[in-house]
Amino acid sequence: MASAQAACALCQPTVFPLLWQDEYCRVVCLQDADYPAYCRVEWLSHVAEMTDLAPTARAHLMKVVFAVESALREVIQPDKINLASLGNKTPHLHWHVLPRFVDDKHFPNSHWGAPCRTGQARLLDAATLARLQHTLQARIQCTLQSPSNTNDD
């Protein structure tokens, strides 16, 4: 296991802008010009699957993922948000939170597939990144402080 962790890119300090972190997970911005504000929520411990986590840890992770989605919707105002947790290439638990636009180069298909068109580059400027970070931190703090609602009436 130690050799797997040493070779795992997500077990290392991030090379991407760190938007938020606690003792369990972190949120980074991948800085993709084709997909502005493409975020990844990374579990800090080297585990591969959601079911490797205790139920409370799973709930914590998903609260962070949903808070990131909410912040992206407010700040970036995409046409759609894609959520994905694959881990086929990097078997370390992480979630992709990807703002999508109808004129991006892959829409409506997956951004991992073949492009459908030349996309509209949307670079994320420093002010927008700072606003996203502020909004994201506030949303995560709020959601983690609220008790879980087990009755979804």
DSSP E strand boundaries for 39-152: 39-43, 80-84, 94-100
150 in any annotated domain: no
134 in any annotated domain: yes
- Give the amino acid at 34: D
22 Cβ contact partners less than 8 Å away, ≥ 6 residues apart: 144
151 in any annotated domain: no
152 in any annotated domain: no
153 in any annotated domain: no
Q: Which pTM was predicted?
A: 0.89
Domains held by the chain: number: 1
- Show the domain range for 121: 2-145
pLDDT values of the chain reduced to their tens digit, one per residue, 153 residues: 455 566 899 999 999 999 999 999 999 999 888 888 999 999 999 999 999 999 999 999 999 999 999 999 999 999 999 999 998 888 999 999 999 999 888 888 788 888 888 877 777 899 999 999 999 999 999 999 977 654 444
Which CATH number fits the domain that encloses residue 77? 3.30.428.10
Q: How far apart are CA 115 and CA 95, in angstroms?
A: 22
136 in any annotated domain: yes
